[in-house]
Amino acid sequence: MKILMMLTVVPFRVEDELKRIGGLYEKAPAWASFALVDGRVVTGQNPASSTAAAKALMDVLTAEPAGVSR
**Residue 13: predicted pLDDT:** 84
pLDDT score for 63: 92
Q: Is residue 15 part of a domain?
A: no
Q: Answer whether residue 56 is part of any domain.
A: yes
Question: Rounded to 5 degrees, what are φ and ψ at 65?
Answer: -60, 145
In a domain, 9, yes or no: no
Q: What single letter denotes the amino acid at residue 34?
A: F
Q: Is the pLDDT of residue 6 over 70?
A: no
Average pLDDT value for residue range 9-38 = 91
Assigned domain for 44 exists: yes
Q: 3-class DSSP state for residue 43? A: strand
In a domain, 55, yes or no: yes
Amino acid of residue 13: R
Looking at the domain assignment, is residue 18 inside a domain?
no
| Phi, psi of 16, deg, nearest 5 | -65, -40
Residue 42 lies in a domain: yes
Number of residues in the chain:
70
What is the tally of structural domains in the chain? 1
Q: Is 47 a domain residue?
A: yes
